[in-house]
Amino acid sequence: MKALFIALDTAILTLCACAVGLGLLLRSPLFVLFLLLYVPLNIIPSPHRFRIRSFRLRVCGEGSDLLLVFLFSAVLTAAVFVPAGFKYIPDPDARLFYLIAAASAPFVLGVVFWNGILRVYLTSVQLGIKHRVLGILLAIIPLWNVVYLCYIIILTDREVRFEVQKQRRDEERAQQRVCATKYPLLLVHGVFFRDSDLLNYWGRIPAELEKNGADIYYGNHQSAAAISACGEELSERIREVAEKTGCGKVNIIAHSKGGLDCRYAISRGGAAQYVASLTTINTPHRGCLFADYLLSETSVKIKHSVARTYNRFLRKLGDSKPDFLAAVNDLTARSCEEFNRETPDSPEVYYQSFGSRLNRARAGKFPMNLTFHVAKAFGGSNDGLVAEDSFPWGSSFRLLTTSGRRGISHGDMVDLNRENIRDFDVREFYVQLVADLKEKGF
């Protein structure tokens, strides 16, 4: 169906581009034909997209189609005008008609291009800032502009198809409420981040879980402090959510240092009776050798200067007692070794863990594309920050990566960049994780 409409729109646009100049000059029926075909093409370019319920995705899909139609029509129009020029330009009687038509064609094609590019720029999530900027910069470079336009078309069309498929899957299982666990979910962030209404630390994950029946709460603890300080905060928060919901307990999903904070809250903060399960995601249970490297290779003066700057900034974000150095120090291998000895698991709580592997540095977003090599030098395979052998904890552990060269980074595991990764659907991963908790009776 899509191919049929693309072919039809391409034929219409090519006809309009070739005929509009002559039609305007002669005031012939060609201009009437142009209006009847060209205007609807720009307003309703892809009738097959009407089946998409999401307005954003429908507009994005239409924009992708318009860019594809523009590309095909530009090639066909050039194939008409270039050979015709050799015939009509030498002829004084035909030269004027040809030049007007040839000058009008880029305008006709350009309107469709801008219509399409604005639609995808305003609605696509996967383009991100980088691809939007590169699209603008490469627009003036011959051949590269065509190559990057093709990339934008492929990326946005893939985004629409992926998201539509997810919507249909959610609609099909809506009645099953696969994520409606016995106990509510408490999502606990990692170090140097805070829970915010403006920018969710967990990206698109919470919305996907809620579509499937989950009841979600957040840790709301400080972004950078010692494990003990964050653990005490979380103990109160866990107790608050358990009592507020009337469920008596919570299921915790914690990322990065948040997993260590939660282990403290459970075992040493008195929260064990309020926790049914703890799932840690990319948590450095045996420390992060990158933290060891930073502390050992950085001078005392620089460390304290960086700490003061971070703490000042974190106070503005809402932290009451931020302590950058304490947070980093608690992530070292030596500190985690001591922490593990002093923090035994509670027999009342089900523990499980997940980790990921980044396969190459370039696949990681800043700064993990830089820290990957350091983490690899000290600990081998890693997620851009934490070594693979630091992740396992509890009754079960699963390592995630992709079949290609990309892999999955520390940030990818919480949808930090809102990126659709081939071979790894992060939102579906969490749906299945929570559905498994439900199956286990949690």
Q: Which CATH number fits domain 178-439: 3.40.50.300, 3.30.70.20, 3.90.950.10, 3.40.50.1820?
A: 3.40.50.1820
Q: Give the model's pLDDT for residue 6.
A: 82
- Specify the higher pLDDT residue, 230 or 12: 230
Show me where the domains of the chain are located: 2-168, 178-439
Q: Do 190 and 258 touch, CB atoms closer than 8 A? A: yes
Q: 133: helix, coil or strand?
A: helix
Rounded CA-CA distance 304/393 in Å is 33
Q: How confident is the model at residue 30 (pLDDT cuts 50, 70, 90)?
A: low
Q: Give the model's pLDDT for residue 396.
A: 96
Residue 435 has pLDDT above 90, yes or no: yes
Per residue in 265-299, pLDDT (tens digit) is 999 999 999 999 999 999 999 998 777 767 776 77
Mean pLDDT for the stretch of residues 127-147:
90
Provide the phi-psi class of 425: left if phi over 0, else alpha when psi is between -120 and 50, else beta: beta
- Specify the higher pLDDT residue, 166 or 95: 166
What mean pLDDT is reported for the chain? Answer: 89
Q: Give the model's pLDDT for residue 301.
A: 80
Q: How confident is the model at residue 379 (pLDDT cuts 50, 70, 90)?
A: confident
The two structure tokens encoding residue 48: 């097959």
Q: Which neighbouring-strand residues pair with 280?
A: 254, 353
Question: What is the model's pTM?
Answer: 0.88
Q: Give the model's pLDDT for residue 24.
A: 54
Is residue 346 classed exposed, middle or buried when 0-12, 13-18 and 19+ CB atoms within 10 A define those classes?
middle
Q: Which residues contact 126 (CB under 8 A, 6 or more apart)?
A: 155, 156, 158, 159, 418, 419, 420
Per residue in 404-424, pLDDT (tens digit) is 889 999 999 999 999 999 899
Q: How confident is the model at residue 306 (pLDDT cuts 50, 70, 90)?
A: confident
The two structure tokens encoding residue 76: 């066909």
- Specify the higher pLDDT residue, 331 or 371: 331
Q: Give the model's pLDDT for residue 319.
A: 81
Helix (H) or strand (E) holding 239: helix 227-245
